[in-house]
Chain A
């Protein structure tokens, strides 16, 4: 079945460590997104990529980094520079320009900093 796979589902990190969240899609979508979700905050955009080898900062990019070396993969690294990394992270994809705009989401990854 086509979809978006995020891993791991749960992740614990010590302060000062970098951690990478995986996001893989087999929908052949051009655009991919990373959102952060905190209680009462809705979804906030971290980074997005409209095409392979290109990505843009979203509203809260500080302390995060991404890469888009393959169309199907868009990993997110939470660096030690991120002051408050404990959150639920959602990856999404979209068919790209010209599509209606619907996002397809993964099941999310919950990161907890100990």
Chain B
């Protein structure tokens, strides 16, 4: 069975600083996708960034980037130049790809990030 672990229940960072959120996962599959979702206080979940396991290059989206270590099964999220609007719950998620069909998305328990002015 696949699992996703986020070991930091809560984190805080000063505005304009950089913060890294950790995520590890366990799977025997070789083909899969990883995601980071953001859930602000408004509660709407939105996709932050996505990584395909077969790609060695780390994904980046503006101030958000990942450090994907496939051998270590690690998928951390780095937020640069943190802004007050980054305050949210962040969920790491995994989905296996079975030759064109996919399993269900599996979520970690989340990290609550607070950006302080």
A108 and B47 form a contact (CB under 8 A): no
- In the assembled complex, the CB of A80 is this many whole angstroms from the nearest CB of chain B, namely 26
A58 and B107 form a contact (CB under 8 A): no
Q: Known: A108-B43, A108-B44. Is A101-B107 also a contact (CB below 8 A)?
A: no
Selected interface stretch from B13-21, B65-73, B80-88, B94-102: B94-102
B102 and A101 form a contact (CB under 8 A): yes
Q: Known: A48-B104, A97-B101. Is A43-B91 also a contact (CB below 8 A)?
A: yes
A43 and B107 form a contact (CB under 8 A): yes
Q: Which of A11-44 contact B (CB under 8 A)?
A: 33, 40-43
B97 and A101 form a contact (CB under 8 A): yes
Q: Which residues of A contact B107 (CB under 8 A)?
A: 42-43
Among A40, A45, A108, contact of B104 (Cβ-Cβ < 8 Å): A45
Range class of the A interface residue count? 20 to 34
Question: Residue B11 at the A interface, CB < 8 A?
Answer: no
A42 and B110 form a contact (CB under 8 A): yes
Q: How many residues does chain B have at the interface if contact means C-beta atoms less than 8 Å apart?
A: 23
Question: Residue A74 at the B interface, CB < 8 A?
Answer: no
Given A43-B107, A45-B104, A97-B101, 16 additional A-B pairs, CB 8 A: A33-B104, A41-B109, A42-B108, A42-B109, A43-B91, A92-B45, A98-B100, A98-B101, A100-B33, A101-B33, A101-B95, A102-B35, A102-B50, A103-B105, A105-B44, A107-B42
Chain B residues within CB distance 8 Å of chain A: 9, 33, 35, 42-47, 50, 52, 91, 95, 97, 100-102, 104-105, 107-110
| A–B pairs, 30, beta carbons within 8 Å | A33-B104, A33-B105, A40-B9, A41-B109, A42-B107, A42-B109, A42-B110, A45-B104, A48-B104, A92-B45, A97-B100, A98-B101, A99-B102, A100-B33, A100-B52, A101-B102, A101-B105, A102-B35, A102-B47, A102-B50, A103-B45, A103-B47, A105-B44, A105-B45, A105-B46, A106-B44, A107-B42, A107-B43, A107-B44, A108-B44
